[in-house]
With several copies, the nearest count.
Chain A
Amino acid sequence: MSVAQWVAQLDQNLYFRSVDALLDMEGHGAFVWSAYLITTLVVLAMLLLPLRRKRRFLRQLAGELKRREGSPRTKGGGD
């Protein structure tokens, strides 16, 4: 089966014949798409938040280390 054939078959199996039909989904579009939209947002948050957390923490730590190395060794307060 050539790639062209495969694409043609895929195209035949497409349920929706136009973008409008896809968006509308016979009246259920609003529901389906909003569900998918919310899911996408939540999944993105799930993936990006830990990444951001790690990056931010490491940057903060790097700054802290730099500050400590820059200044003469001081013992923490409490006098």
Chain B
Amino acid sequence: MAQGQDGAALLRADALSLERGGRELFCGLSFTVRPGQLLQIEGPNGAGKTSLLRILAGLSRYGFGGRVHRQAPQLYLGHHPAVKALLTPRENLAWHVAGEGGHSDARIEAALEQVGLYGYEDVPSMTLSAGQHRRVNLARLYLSSAPLWLLDEPFTAIDKAGVAQLEQLLENHVQGGGAVILTSHQALQLTRLVEFIHLDAGLVA
């Protein structure tokens, strides 16, 4: 909350509190996200991780108190992969990034290749496996120019090699001056980088 080195902050949360279904999920949660930070939100099922991320992204407004200062563009990937079963991965991805910037078809193809969907660019997404489905969505990370990523359980359904690759990507992003806030029930391998927000206690670690 101190205005110290605030110039570089990507996001500042002031005294966030949230009540859902009659229960107080957290209160007095304040933190600042600066470039180079990788924050993992931890807590048991139902602790309010998803809710917190949605508040940070600006999607949720009811029942919460406090203020969120967003000082940089964000990329939010939620639980639902937002992949349309009837469209192909290429079409899905093209539409996802259409709001952010005009990406050439070649770049989209490259991103799909990087998430291991080479050869699957033009099949209908409904024939993809669960992990491949998710990967279509994760391909956005390779195209995003937003410095702050908000990722809700990005490793769901991804195989081991995919998780390792994704962690590498997160590390690169963080070391390149970006920041990541993510939730996951799996422990990251990049432990030396990670800072935690434990939600059950409502404290910042």
A interface secondary structure, majority: loop
- Interface bin, chain B: 10 to 19
For residue A78, CB closer than 8 A to chain B, the reply is yes
For residue A70, CB closer than 8 A to chain B, the reply is no
For residue B47, CB closer than 8 A to chain A, the reply is yes
For residue A72, CB closer than 8 A to chain B, the reply is no
| Residues in B whose Cβ lies below 8 Å from that of A76 | 23, 119
For residue A77, CB closer than 8 A to chain B, the reply is yes
| Residues in A whose Cβ lies below 8 Å from that of B46 | 77-78
Interface string of B114-135 (1 = CB under 8 A from A): 0011111000000000001000
For residue A79, CB closer than 8 A to chain B, the reply is yes
B interface secondary structure, majority: loop
- Tally of chain A residues near chain B (CB < 8 A): 4
| Residues in B whose Cβ lies below 8 Å from that of A78 | 23, 44-47, 116, 132
Q: How far apart sit A77 and B120, CA to CA, in the bound complex (Å)?
A: 8
For residue B1, CB closer than 8 A to chain A, the reply is no
For residue B187, CB closer than 8 A to chain A, the reply is no
Interface string of A63-79 (1 = CB under 8 A from B): 00000000000001111
Q: How far apart sit A79 and B117, CA to CA, in the bound complex (Å)?
A: 9
Q: How far apart sit A76 and B117, CA to CA, in the bound complex (Å)?
A: 11
Q: Is the CB of A77 within 8 A of B119?
A: yes
Q: Is the CB of B116 within 8 A of A79?
A: yes
Which B residues are within 8 Å of any A CB, using their own CB? 23, 44-47, 116-120, 132, 161
Which A residues are within 8 Å of any B CB, using their own CB? 76-79
Can you list 11 pairs linking A and B with CB atoms under 8 Å apart? A76-B119, A77-B46, A77-B116, A77-B119, A78-B23, A78-B45, A78-B46, A78-B47, A78-B132, A79-B44, A79-B161
Closest 7 CB pairs of A and B: A78-B46, A76-B23, A77-B119, A77-B118, A79-B44, A79-B116, A78-B44
Known pairs A77-B120, A78-B132, A79-B44. 8 more at Cβ < 8 A? Answer: A76-B23, A76-B119, A77-B46, A77-B116, A77-B117, A77-B118, A78-B45, A78-B47
